[in-house]
Amino acid sequence: MANEERTTTLRVEGMHCAACAQAVEQALRSVPGVSAAAVNPVTWIARVEVSTGVPEGRLASAVRQAGYGVAEDEDAGARGVLAARRRAAFAWLLAIPIVVWMVPEMLLGIVWPSALGYHAGMVVLALPVVFWAGGPTILAGVRALVRRTPTMDTLIALGALASLLTGFVAVAAEMGAAPAVHDYAGVAAMILAIHLTGRWIEARAKGRASQAIRRLLSLGAKTASILRDGLEVDVPIEDVAIGDVMIVRPGTKVPTDGVVTSGESHVDESIATGESLPVRRVAGEKVIGSTLNVEGLLRVEATAVGKDTFLAQMVRLVEEAQGSKVPIQALADRVTRVFVPVILVLALATFVLWLAAPAVFAGITAWASGFLPWVHGDLSLFSRALFAAVAVLVIACPCALGLATPTALSVGSGKGAENGILFRSGEAIQTLREVDTIVFDKTGTITEGRPNVTDAVPVGVDEFDLLRLAGSVEEGSEHPLGRAVVAACRERGVKLDAVEQFVAFPGKGVRGRVDGRDVFAGSLVWVRGEVGVEDSTVASSVEKLEADGKSAVVVADASGWLGVLGIADRPKAGAAAAIEELRALGLDVVLLTGDNERVARVVGQAVGIERVVAGVLPDGKVRVVEALQREGHVVAMVGDGINDAPALRAANVGIALGTGTDVAIETGDVTLVSGEPAAVARAVRLSRATFRKIRQNLFWAFFYNVVAIPLAVAGLLHPLVAEAAMALSSINVVTNAGRLRRIRLGPSPSETRGAIAPVPGSRV
């Protein structure tokens, strides 16, 4: 029997660029039993799909053998930022005197106090910067080169070491032991000072980009007041068990997910839904852990704890999205994979070409020396060749390419979580922005999904028995219409009987044995087919109810009709405004339902959907989605129930409303926690904005390298300018992605709500 797989995460320390992340991925994939590995250089997280028999230590060992560390706690990122700041500060402590000392020599040719003193002083000041402040970079770069997996650190290390070496040669030349060469030792220190500063700023920006998970985790309650043996006691949140009754006072957080057993209050659920207005919660309704009880005293029975809570699931989904890759990233990954080796070859070729064919660059040098103070035609040919080669090494920047996508994904998925939009993967973000058709299920998606029994038309029995038999057989149903029948029985004091041999027929109805007889409840067509009895009275009652905009549940037993129940649902507040928003975004909207044509048209008209496909069963919904795809449409399916799960999987993007079943949420590529149709438009806007940032980042990363590398080859870029530009390119990518946090996704559900008259529900 094959080993089952599990997903595990590692916090990797020491990564500084996309090439580092790819090296870690390669090391993890080489471990037997690992089927997939994805490393995010922004969040420092490696997500690994591995057989259950592979110990965690083997994965950590593979990472360490690749030259990187594995953190044991969640503070690795914070420690990394602090260490980067410390090293940058130390580097500048020595680099500033170097700059003051270098400027007179570079601009005026003044060497103080003497040539030997100048060169020796540069070496002395540069050594601690290169080998202490920049020590981890130098060591990582050399190790990566030895392992034949060169990274950005390799380029910086080679550039800095080559520059530092000229200082020793210059000192030796003053002693008559070596040929004269221009001293770039101070440049080595400056390269690392700028590099470490950029790394510190980049680390801070990456920390902000990935702070969504930390913010979510910090929202959890730390303690809970629960009833134990009739007494109220305070316990750590870890000690709360399913079934415990929690006391939630005004102004305190709901400790964990549960159901209100008594009390009434308004609860601020903004951390989960993005909805700014508190919602009313009464006995029997669910509450989400870590939300804030605004007023009133609640008693809540815990229904989920630990990793099963809603907050834990949010964290998991955000982590999965941040650790995934979008299809467009494949190009950047391919470029990054070969980028550093190509730059190493190009730097060597630049050095050789300058020495072998100086005439090629002589005209450029003469032209640029008139306005660029660092271009000197009187330098030795070796010095100019080294100058250009070092500039090529430090200007090339695979970091920006590698950070372009994960930073935007981290910020975008975090922004989504703050607004109740949970993306399962980066691919879902990219695909959603390409969608041109949105297909809505009706019941519980466009409508409230809480229909009420408005009419009872008994045939051969009284109204009480009609409700009793229908409610008894529907008690096992998950469908909103079935729950409406059961709720009507309870409201009217109708006692339900035990049901045997219960069977649900999705999209059709239910059957069960009550009081020794088989009872059927469902659509007219299905029940008539099961019972085999024609009755114009029942058919006319169904027609009249549907004409009034109501759904009809027909009830019968083996001997014939028992009656008809009329049930009405109404569109969710703000549904019409949500459809209008989607149209404004250029999207076509389709309403898909298992209800009959007449009822479906009434709902569609109420919310402004013209294209209505009615009378389809769950497998029919899949065929409708596939037919739209064959027409060339990119389709998103929005649903909330078990019946929607196949269509959610078939669509290009499945969007599950968080108020629906766990099956729908697990099936969906996107989960909208608020359960409001308006959230669909917000999700589309967020996906488009996130992808726009990805494209901007990739463009500027490519553009920067395409322009900067030829300038470096031509000897027109000072290594310091090159290193500063390289650092700024990475910082620009990260900060540009960070601007996603400021975008407005559209009105919240509370801003789109309005009164809408009741319209029908459906059996879908």
Catalytic residue positions?
441
Give Cα 105 to chain centroid, integer Å. Answer: 52
Rounded distance between C-alpha atoms, residue 48 and residue 53, angstroms: 14
Rounded distance between C-alpha atoms, residue 289 and residue 214, angstroms: 16
Going by C-alpha positions, the residue among 606, 588, 578 that lies closest to residue 681 is 578
Tokens of 128: 């601690």
Give Cα 160 to chain centroid, integer Å. Answer: 38
Going by C-alpha positions, the residue among 320, 333, 252 that lies closest to residue 289 is 252
Going by C-alpha positions, the residue among 626, 668, 623, 642 that lies closest to residue 764 is 642
Three-state secondary-structure class, residue 253: strand
C-alpha distance across the termini of the chain, in Å: 40
Rounded distance between C-alpha atoms, residue 691 and residue 56, angstroms: 35
Sheet with 588-592, strands from edge to edge, namely: 421-423, 670-672, 653-657, 635-639, 437-441, 588-592, 611-613
| Three-class HEC string of 158-173 | HHHHHHHHHHHHHHHH
Rounded distance between C-alpha atoms, residue 290 and residue 272, angstroms: 9
Give Cα 303 to chain centroid, integer Å. Answer: 27
Rounded distance between C-alpha atoms, residue 188 and residue 131, angstroms: 11
Type of residue found at 323: G
Supply the DSSP string of 426-455, one letter for each residue: HHHHHHHHH--EEEEEIIIIIB-S--EEEE
Rounded distance between C-alpha atoms, residue 598 and residue 384, angstroms: 83
Phi, psi dihedrals of residue 75, rounded to the nearest 5°: -95, 10
Rounded distance between C-alpha atoms, residue 613 and residue 623, angstroms: 11
Supply the DSSP string of 199-241, one letter for each residue: HHHHHHHHHHHTHHHHHHHHTS-SEEEEEETTEEEEEEGGG--
